[in-house]
Amino acid sequence: MSFDAIQKRLNDLQTKGKLTEKEVSYLLTPKRIHQKEFTLEKDDGSKETLKAYRVQFNDDLGPTKGGIRFHHEVDLDEVKSLAFWMALKTSLSNLPYGGGKGGVEVDPKGLSETELERISRGFIQVMAEHIGPTKDIPAPDVYTTPQIMAWMLDEYEKIKGEHLPGVITGKPLVLGGSKGRSYSTAQGGVYVLEAALKHAGKKLTEATIAIQGFGNAGMHAAHILHKLGAKIVAVSDSKGGAYDANGLDIEAVTAHKEKTRSVIGYAKDVTTEELLALDVDVLIPAALAETITAKNAANVKAKIVLELANGPVTPEADKLLYGKGINVIPDILANAGGVIVSYYEWVQNQMGYYWEEEEVLEKLKKQIIPPYNTMYELSSKEKFDLRTAAYLIATKRILEAAKLRGRV
């Protein structure tokens, strides 16, 4: 989503939250922007110059934190938006972190393992001086995996000459990763969804769900929800979707996707647009930004939209959905499970002592439900949509820290 759209959202927030112009302008100013280039040597010997970004948006609450994505649509404007959301996300979840984000403009789909490794190491070579366990802590995001985190960690430790596992999170377990991190984005979203369904007087076992996106967030959400007894009627990936009104067998869909690289062909094929318009209780956009827009928001029939992706609903669509009485659980809370368990991973790295999975999950639930309740209460009291309430709580905490530091 463009940073312009975010600016508009904050102008709206200024009126509703009675923020001053100075405060809004402070919130919208990124602290540091690092823009670099590096050369990728491809397997066939040819060379390509790649653009790499790291935006450290706000660090009032602590070191900046946020993932790195590999995608052909990555540009500075997008990374800025994503970094801003990370600052709100960490604040809303009461983490001692600021927000940042990184990216490499590259199409990851055509790359070999060795090329991916060279890109991961190349990113760290140009960014190493700007990151660190008490400075800025990257993590996975779209098309970046635990293996990529491992290469990045290794490159960073080579440059620094010491072991510093807390420089990056989302690592494989054997390199200091946390139990539960691989599916924590989805798990956090499920905890929040359970709370929202409770408020709506609906049981998860009676809910029908459609999930757009079958990557780390969407696929794990499908598995967790399926195991809890919810009916997943449709899932999709970048090629299209699979639909079964009686509910999909998610294990079988995953096996089909592993074999054929897509969910299409498993059941009745549907397009993404058809999936978004299904008459379900819960719609989970779990892929990229700007999926629900002014063009298709009117077709959405779900009662709850759980934003597992970052920025899947545009500001115009937000208004249309709110007008239809649809509850949009905002990304900065719905997908915060990822960064929350990243925080636990970092804590475990800093103390060199590791927790059991049950402990991680119990902590995650205790961390994500209170901000959900605070957001829900504020939205009911002031008649704000959930996003406005979440943004107000998050920006208030950042501003409080900034004021104590004497920055605003």
Binding residues (CB under 6 A) for ligand GLU: these are: 65-67, 89, 139, 141, 169-170, 310, 335, 338-339, 342
- What angle do the packed helices 386-404 and 3-17 form, to 10 degrees? 80
Contact 296, 320 (CB under 8 A): no
Task: Provide, rounded to whole angstroms, the least separation between the CB of residue 218 and ligand GLU.
Answer: 14
Task: Provide, rounded to whole angstroms, the least separation between the CB of residue 336 and ligand GLU.
Answer: 7
Task: Provide, rounded to whole angstroms, the least separation between the CB of residue 335 and ligand GLU.
Answer: 6
- Whether 295 is catalytic is no
Task: Provide, rounded to whole angstroms, the least separation between the CB of residue 62 and ligand GLU.
Answer: 12
Q: Report the distance separating Cα 196 and Cα 379, nearest Å.
A: 13
Contact 180, 357 (CB under 8 A): yes
Conformation bin of residue 213: beta by default, left when phi > 0, alpha when psi is -120 to 50: left
Nearer to ligand GLU, 241 or 311 (CB): 311
Q: Report the distance separating Cα 292 and Cα 67, nearest Å.
A: 23
- Please count the other Cβ atoms lying within 10 Å of the Cβ belonging to residue 113: 9
Nearer to ligand GLU, 105 or 307 (CB): 307
Question: Which of 65, 80, 89, 101 is an active site residue?
Answer: 101
Nearer to ligand GLU, 310 or 314 (CB): 310
Q: Report the distance separating Cα 222 and Cα 46, nearest Å.
A: 40
The DSSP H or E segment spanning 208 is strand 208-212
Contact 324, 362 (CB under 8 A): no
> DSSP label at 178?
P
Residue nearest to ligand GLU (CB): 67
Nearer to ligand GLU, 289 or 339 (CB): 339
Task: Provide, rounded to whole angstroms, the least separation between the CB of residue 276 and ligand GLU.
Answer: 21
Nearer to ligand GLU, 83 or 233 (CB): 83
Q: What is the DSSP string of 33-67?
A: EEEEEEEEEPTTS-EEEEEEEEEEEE-SSSSEE--
Q: Which residues does the annotation mark as catalytic? A: 101
